[in-house]
Structure formats: C-alpha cells, structure tokens
Amino acid sequence: MTISVGDKLPDVKLVKATQEGPEAVQSAEYFAGKRVALFSVPGAFTPTCSAKHLPGFVDKAADLKAKGIDEIACTAVNDPFVMKAWGAASGSADVTMLADGNGDFAKAVGLTMDGSGFGLGTRGQRFSMIVNDGVVEQLNVEAPGDFKVSSAEHMLEQL
C-alpha cells in the first residue's frame, strides 16, 4: 500500500552519505522533530535525475528553507558510496544524500518501480514529499517517465 498524506513514515534503516563515510540512520530518528523536503530519484547519475531533479533542489535550497523547510534530503536505491559521489559531483551541502541500497524505504512507503527493462532492477519511483516530524504533509508522485510534480519548483508552490 502506498503511503498517504497524514501517514507516519515507516521506520527503516537508511544510510547517510557523509564526508567521513557511510552513517546508518533510522528513518524515524532522521525525520523526527524537523520539517524535511524529501525527494526520491530512480538512480544517481541518471539523465533526468542529474540534469533536473537534484539541480532543482540545489538551486532552490535557500527558497525552501525560507519557507520553513529545515532540511532537504534525496533518496535513491543506490549504495552510499554512489550517493556520496553524486552529491559531490552535482549536489551541495544543502542536500543530504540518503542511500536506500536495498530499497527498504521505497518498499515500505509503497513507491517502487520495476526498472529491470533498463537493467536497474527494483528502484524507488520519482516522488517528493514534505515530512513534518515524521508525518507526510505533502506527497507528489510522478507518473512513469514524467518530471513535473516532484520538482523543487512544484514543492515551493505547495509551501
């Protein structure tokens, strides 16, 4: 079942990509007590994700924070080393990279996709959400192949 507005996020392990190396975090702990703009991409270094999705949140980070967002986080079904490299190549310190290497978070929120036709296996769908103290405040799930409602610009319109 897909998570909905008003639902509490499930508590699963994610891995935060840091300069010091991978750091395991529980999602319940990570999202507690703050308002987070979370976006999910099918994969680091993939075309739309690298050309539009991550850069949009990097460019609009100050605007999001000015509208009450405490932290911006990106998740993907990639390992923490790939997420760290992608963040270093394309991101900024304003975006926390959260690796969902086994897809546990994507499965737990019911937002997986089958990318096996492209050799990607099971991945997280492209989506964004505003999470307030662990509870989904806004949820924007893209139709397959689209990039509209999960953008930083769309999120800014919602705030």
List, by residue number, the catalytic residues: 49
Whether the CB-CB separation of 104 and 12 falls below 8 Å is answered with yes
- In the numeric block, which tokens belong to residue 15? 């891995």
Cα 137-83-63 angle, rounded to 5 deg: 45
DSSP characters over 117-146: GGT--EEEPSEEEEEETTEEEEEEEPPTT-
